[in-house]
Amino acid sequence: MSRFFIEKGKIRDNIGIIVGEDVKHISRVLRLGVGDKVVLFDDAGWEYHARIKESSSRELRVDIFKKVLPRRESPIEIILGQGLPKPPKMDFIVQKGTELGISEILPFNSDRSVPKFTYYKSLKKVERWRKIALEATKQCGRNLPPFIASPVDFSEILSKDLKDTFKLILWEEETVGLKVVLDLNPDANKFFVLVGPEGGFSGREIRKAREAGFNVANMGIRILRSETASISILSVIQHRFGDLN
């Protein structure tokens, strides 16, 4: 059954109001009308099973007959600090990271980042990434899209205050493998992972990361593209510590 996001303020007395692009998608693409069922979810994790009551070109009114709080979020928290790659690759990382249960995505400008986003340009990009994350949330059955921050400089990423978090940075020139590093904390349930852009991290950035308490690891003998490394590390962590069975 199709799932759609609804703001909590649009629900009152078991009546929900759907507005925006979803109205067109429900009516014209899915060809659903009065009496058909839909599933809604809000930003608090609740899911609503509803039946379309009234339909117009601007909004749909639905009767909510069931409210549940499903457990589809990962039991672990993974924050991905992503060195900005070229735009299509970032779209891919956001989409697949959402499907893999990521909690937050923190884009940053690295020494070797090709795109250097200005403040105003980054606002448009973040808006796009959040829309991609919301669509992926609908598709994969999650009830909470990941938080996606505006791009910052690498130094701000390192200064992020995270307690009881296993901090990891991937670097192809490191001699210590990922398995060895993850074995250092087998009971971890909160991770902060840094992945570089297309050109990888500079030696200066790795030194700064070590000083900030990050564990450094490589992911094997093959050099992975930035987007491959990001999705791979999320999959590994979810399989070992999370709910990817």
pLDDT tens column, 104-113:
999 999 998 8
> Would you put residue 200 in left (φ > 0), alpha (ψ -120 to 50) or beta?
left
The Cα-based distances of 188 to 25, 132, 178, 219 in angstroms read: 41, 29, 14, 19
CA–CA dist 90, 88 (Å, integer): 5
Contacts of 88 (CB under 8 A, 6+ apart): none
Q: Predicted confidence band at 163 (pLDDT cuts at 50, 70, 90)? A: confident
Does residue 117 surpass a pLDDT of 80? no
Q: Going by C-beta distance under 8 Å and a sequence separation of 6 or more, which residues neighbour residue 181?
A: 168, 215, 216, 217
What's the token pair of residue 166?
């296993």
pLDDT of residue 118: 63
Residue-wise pLDDT for 43-99, tens only, equals: 888 899 999 999 998 999 999 999 998 888 999 999 999 999 988 899 999 999 999
pTM of the predicted model as reported, rounded to 2 decimal places: 0.85
Instruction: State the average pLDDT for the chain.
Output: 92
Say whether pLDDT at 177 is over 90. yes
How many whole angstroms separate alpha carbon 171 and alpha carbon 68? 43
Judge whether 184 and 207 are in contact, CB under 8 Å: no
DSSP bridge partners of 49: 39, 66
CA angle (189, 226, 231) in 5-degree steps = 40
Question: In b/e form, how buried is each residue of 80-107, taking b as 16+ CB within 10 angstroms?
Answer: bbbbbbeeebbbbbbbbbbbbbbbbbbb
